[in-house]
Structure 1
Amino acid sequence: MNTEQLAGLFPGLEPELYEEMEKAGVVKEIPAGSVVLRKGQVIRSAILVLEGVVKLYQEDEEGGEFFMYHIEPGQACAVSMVCSYRQETSNVLASALTDATVLLIPLSYMDKWMSKYKSWHYFVINSYRSRYNELLNTVSEIAFKNMDERLEFYLKKQVRQLGKHVRLTHQDIATDLNSSREVISRLMKKMEKNGWIIIHRNSFEWIKDDPSAK
């Protein structure tokens, strides 16, 4: 990962900062399905996504999951930034939804960059604000919409991020939406009947409209 690639993914930073990111950052390849963050893990680096999609979620005492949001290329994991600054352990989990590449920035550099580079200060604040807004949207979907509306919103978001053919099982979707596999299967069959999707084994294909449409 060179400075030109970093500038393309994270625009608006100082040229000197890109050089420091290239030198200080550690590039890590993460296969799809692998854990990125564990609950209770000590975080010593900020996580910036270079390629792929990372899913952030919480887990209750019975193993149930609550989907929070996705982190895409050019975005940072705000939780990793906050916890590393405050030297706290993670209270969420993160896993690679697809094969992913991340850039790990050690805590010592983050502290220095906050005072040295104004653009890094704004990047950290904007990352936290963006992830907070995404979390509010997720909560709003759960609180104010019924399950078929939530499912439509969720599937469209997956299509925008992953393309028309999305490899997710009905159980994966049910877990993210805090529902049951039976309910999700029934609603997806209804969507297939209405010409929205085609259901495949462990995946679905969106056919209703442009996958980038919101």
Structure 2
Amino acid sequence: MNKDLLNQKFAQNLDADLIAEISKNGIFKTFKKDDIIIDINQTLQYIPLLLIGDIKIMREDPDGNELLIYFLEAGETCTMSLTCCMGTSKSKIRAVAEKDSTLVLIPVQNMQTWFHNNASWRNFILESYQIRFDEMLEAIDNLAFMKMDERLHKYLKNMAMVNSSKIISIKHQDIASDLNTSRVVISRLLKKLENENKISLGRNKIEIL
């Protein structure tokens, strides 16, 4: 079953021999919604490949406030954890399960060996770096150039895309935490977006119109 999941999510990027190696050497783990998968300052001995679910990648300021950087979807890996593993440094991000998620954890030594010996793995890693770099630039642009209501609307549309549904079950406080602002601000801006017919508000639910 584990190998079937790997084939389903990674066969387009990784060759059959490597998928067999991952199935043999990887550790398959399941995390519940809101579980911390990787924490800040954690020493990383494995890198994650996401098979099922979604993961939020967060940064934290010195006061403990979190900021959402990007989402991981099934078939992807976290390049920030790759960077830490390659440089044997501690994690600078927090990875949190957005929903129940299944991952395969690859030992660092295998990751490094495959990078040098397997072209499909090397290409997958380099493409992942490019995707995350583009998302980091987008996150910086959002912070620098977008008003909070625009950031909020974009966040909601991204959540809808990740969950494959126009209806999002989420609390105002959770949105505020992801966007590093207050619940009062989020509630006010959600009402503004509803008045502009961009969303419809329900009890702990938001529909993208």
Assess same fold via TM > 0.5. yes
**Post-superposition CA distance 1:44-63 (Å, at most 9, x none):** 11111111110111111211
1:126 aligned onto 2:127: yes
Give the paired residue count.
Answer: 207
**Post-superposition CA distance 1:54-83 (Å, at most 9, x none):** 011111121111211111101001122121
Check whether the contact 2:5–2:51 (CA below 8 A) recurs between aligned residues: no
> Match of 1:63, SS?
coil
Aligned equivalents of 2:131 and 2:119: distance in 1? Answer: 18
Residue matched to 1:211: none
> Match of 1:114, SS?
helix
Aligned equivalents of 2:203 and 2:60: distance in 1? Answer: 26
Q: Once the 2 structures are TM-superposed, how far is the Cα of residue 108 of structure 1 from its aligned partner? A: 1.7
1:178 aligned onto 2:180: yes
> Structure 2 matches for 1:73-152, cutoff 5 A?
73-152=74-153
> Match of 2:102, SS?
strand
Q: Once the 2 structures are TM-superposed, how far is the Cα of residue 198 of structure 1 from its aligned partner? A: 2.6
TM-score norm. by structure 1 comes to 0.91
Q: Once the 2 structures are TM-superposed, how far is the Cα of residue 85 of structure 1 from its aligned partner? A: 2.0
Q: Once the 2 structures are TM-superposed, how far is the Cα of residue 2 of structure 1 from its aligned partner? A: 4.0
> Match of 2:155, SS?
helix
TM-score norm. by structure 2 comes to 0.93
The alignment yields a C-alpha RMSD, in angstroms, of 1.4
**Could you tell me the percent identity over the aligned residues?**
37
Aligned equivalents of 1:99 and 1:166: distance in 2? Answer: 16
Residue matched to 1:156: 157
Structure 2, unaligned stretches of length 5 or more? Answer: none
Structure 1, unaligned stretches of length 5 or more? Answer: 209-214
Residue matched to 1:200: 202
Aligned equivalents of 2:184 and 2:90: distance in 1? Answer: 36
